[in-house]
Amino acid sequence: MTLPVTIHQNYSLIHQNTLGLPSIARYYAEVNTVEELQEALTFAKEKGLVILPLGGGSNVVLGDVLDALVIHINLKGLSVVHRDERQVTVTAMAGENWHEFVLWSIDQEAYGLENLSLIPGCVGAAPIQNIGAYGVEIKDYFVSLDAINISTGDVEQFDNFDCCFGYRDSVFKGEKKDRYIIISVTFALDAVLSPRLGYGQLTDSLSEKHGDSVLTALQISQAVCDIRQQKLPDPKTIGNAGSFFKNPEVDQQTMERLKKEYPDIVAYPVGEKWKLAAGWLIDRAGLRGVQQGSVGTYQKQALVLVNHGGATGSDVIAFSQYVLEKVKNQFGVELEREPRVYR
């Protein structure tokens, strides 16, 4: 078959993942249009290959050799679909950088995503993870997404209900896992800025810089960026995948037990449960700044695993397992990895 998309063999992904892991894809394609994506899927089906979609590579741990067709989703495009006095509906293609999309939305006077500034990755991955920060989650502004059915090659649409959003979760991590590739996402943003400042650290930072003055979305975005840059390492400087573990939820009985033993434990109520700060648990377990071989926890934020140079995917998984076991043994709480593991 004649393909409009180039298929590479034995392709290095070391620069395609923010952990900087030296992974090799048996087959690799970068797609810039939906048609190229559909052709790549046809190629994979004819070859009997597993499909591994890859965006910004910021939330994955890659194995040494991936016996699959790795498809880099590079679909680009941003547009304002509708605007009225209350809402601004915008659509972003899956390959757009998330942070740049947030800045673009602010520039379009479309508000709500400023608290999600500087989250790494691309737009297409955002609904899968239901990314969130400082009291805002994707689901709060999500309208719908278009996705390619990997099996049929057809484009299907999913609304907010269809996506079954949860904490760092969606139907694409459950029932629909590995069955679709997202190609575009549509959001209904606010036409008038209504700041979400429920998190103390963000509120304090803005108050310190701007006092009681009326805030702009760009000022909120910059404050979020400043906080994130203080806590999280730049992948261009040291390989990392951002926050590596989810904040675990525990029941009331477990919370009472932990509070007695650790009065300063960081937690907040979520319905009938309590959400614990995974970073606090790892730090309190004595693991902040710890290093084994080429992998360790970041000195400024124990929630982040870093590649000090030369680490493989197996090294990262082994060290993360060490962290899981240490936390479980000390607190009786099970952590869960956030990044997707491709082997």
Catalytic residues, by residue number, are 168, 243, 338
State how far the alpha carbon of 239 is from the alpha carbons of 16, 298, 306, 315, 332, in Å: 11, 10, 6, 13, 30
Q: How far apart are CA 235 and CA 58, in angstroms?
A: 9
SS3 146: strand
Quick one: CA dihedral 117, 160, 242, 61, positive or negative? negative
SS3 129: helix
Q: Compute the C-alpha angle 244/93/63, nearest 5°.
A: 35
The most distant pair of C-alpha atoms in the chain lies apart, rounded to whole Å, by: 67
Q: How far apart are CA 205 and CA 210, in angstroms?
A: 9
Cβ(65)–Cβ(23) below 8 Å: yes
Quick one: CA dihedral 208, 214, 220, 222, positive or negative? negative
Cβ(284)–Cβ(326) below 8 Å: no
Q: How far apart are CA 49 and CA 17, in angstroms?
A: 21
Q: How far apart are CA 48 and CA 69, in angstroms?
A: 10
Cβ(62)–Cβ(13) below 8 Å: yes
Cβ(206)–Cβ(197) below 8 Å: yes
* Rg of the Cα atoms in the chain: 21
